[in-house]
Amino acid sequence: MEMNVVQRQTQGLAMTAKMQAALRILQMSQFDLTAHLAEAALENPCLEVRMPEVAPSVPSGLGGRTQNPDFDPVAALAEGKPSLYQHVGRQIAQAFPHPSAQRVALAFAEALEPTGWLGSPVDQVARAAGVPLAVAETVLARLQQFEPAGLFARSLTECLRLQAADKGLLTWELGVILDNLALLAEGRIDDLAEMCDGTPDDVRAALVTIRGLDPKPGMAFAASEMPVLPPDLYLTRGADGWKVDLNRSVLPGLRVTAGPESAGDAAARAWLSSARSRARWLVRAVERRQATLLLTAGFLVRHQTDFLAAGPEALRPLSTEEAAAELGLHPSTISRAVAHRTIQTPRGTLPLRAFFSRAFTPGSGADGPSQDALIALVGRIVAAEDAARPLSDAEIVRRAEAEGARLARRTVAKYRDMLGIPSSYDRRKAA
């Protein structure tokens, strides 16, 4: 056997400890950042932290925040029903003992809506958690086994399918019907019967089963009031256009100091020199965080001026990939920069993620309408209807087309469900 020595040159990117720490700082909320810096100042005599005007409370809860070791989260819970997030947090602690998997699970928990559905795409959660999509999907599959069944579903079909499977009711025929809920909403019983090789009575029996499932399992928990947090950014309009500023009242002040005297002790001087270096790096990392946040917010405001002037119907398609390409950053950096960030605008305080919207027609880019704009259009059409004569989905399609938007009836039904608008039949009964 002949052995050869071959040299190959490849390119790769290795995440150093400092790079990982900088990404964590970028993703921290304003209160988490303050708590992190306060903790760093306790360990570093060369770092001086001035607490912001709006001081954070004791960090606790989901999201990997630092917690007082003497704090007992179970004893602190109020009597009665727990909140959805408390319930999910307990199950995550048991199901994911490994810290890295638990961190991804908590990222999914932060994207959970009060209904129990997942409010963000899986790829977006994966980017925010800094893991491959395959890892995030594996964690999500485990989360979807939590009680009650139906949590972390990405759609109504998936929510009902998870519950039916948990109760041992998920047959092939029921799966076909769940995959075609739009036909069920339109009353096309015969079509569904043909699709599942059954009879109309079989479909009606399946409908009884479906009505016994809970489309919003998260609503069974206590509704916890979200704290009103100050915005991260301010948006004002002047003679020269829009201006974005950081809300400095929630930002800690940082200063690198010389530290205590250490004359005659070489080891102490070396340790202080290292401490000053760490403090300077931390200050630069925070400055980069603020600069990235301002840069990203400025991009969003420039590209969504119509949205700021006219509302959601004027949202243009905009993705994190477009922002990354224009700003010279990685899409995951953009995702981290906008995560849980809010901006106070003349239209109210909005999450920065509200400025992003997918194109209604994939590949159409900025030339076509965004999904959010069309969802808002459907909501406006229904809001303007005669309550005594609610509009059918077909009529909503015609009115949307009259305004230049081509929608299918099943798309209108999906958007109605996302807006929490019942069918025309149910709206007529309610009137």
Burial (CB < 10 A; 0-12, 13-18, 19+), residue 352, is buried
Cis peptide before 69 (omega within 30 of 0): no
Range 95-106 average pLDDT = 80
Q: Where are the domains of the chain?
A: 156-213, 233-355, 365-430
Q: What is the DSSP string of 202-269?
A: HHHHHHHHHHTS-S-GGGGSB-PPPP-PPPSEEEEEETTEEEEEE-GGGSPEEEE---S--TT-HHHH
pLDDT of 288 reads 92
Taking residues 175-198, report their average pLDDT: 81
The token pair that represents 10 in the structure block: 């490849």
Q: Give tens-digit pLDDT for 406-419.
A: 888 888 888 888 77
Mean pLDDT of the chain: 80
pLDDT for residue 361: 62
Is the model's pLDDT at 261 over the cut of 50?
yes
In the chain, % of residues over pLDDT 90: 10
3-state SS of the chain: helix, strand, coil percent to 5? 55, 10, 35
For residue 232, what are its two tokens? 């991260």
Q: What pLDDT score was predicted for residue 54? A: 53
| pLDDT tier, 220 (very low <50, low <70, confident <90, very high otherwise) | confident
Q: What is the pTM (predicted TM-score) of this model?
A: 0.54
Least confident of 73-77, 173-177, 335-339: 73-77
Query: What integer pLDDT is reported at residue 296 of this predicted model?
Result: 94
Report residue 368's pLDDT band, with 50, 70 and 90 as the boundaries: low
CATH class label, 365-430: mainly alpha
Per-residue pLDDT for 297 more than 90? Answer: yes
Which one, of 128, 106, 110, lies nearest residue 119 by Cα? Answer: 110
In this predicted structure, what is the pLDDT of residue 310?
A: 80
Q: Say what percent of the chain tops pLDDT 70.
A: 85
| DSSP letter for each residue of 318-362 | B-HHHHHHHHT--HHHHHHHHTT-EEEETTEEEEGGGG-B-BSST
For the stretch 138-154, what's the b/e string if a residue is b when 16 or more beta carbons lie within 10 angstroms of its beta carbon?
ebbebbbebeebbbbbe
The amino acid that residue 99 corresponds to is P
DSSP code for 317: P
Q: Would you say residue 358 has pLDDT above 70?
A: yes
Residue 156 reports pLDDT greater than 60: yes
Of 127-136, 315-324, 394-403, least confident by mean pLDDT is: 127-136
pLDDT at 366 > cutoff 60: no
Using DSSP's 3-state secondary structure scheme, residue 198 falls into: coil
Burial code (b: 16+ CB inside 10 Å, e: under 16) for 292-306 equals bbebbbbbbbebbee
For residues 230-256, average pLDDT: 87
Give the β-pairing of 47-50 and 348-351.
unpaired
Q: Is the pLDDT of residue 392 over 80?
A: yes
**Partners of 343 in the β-ladder:** 233, 350
192 or 68, which is more confident = 192
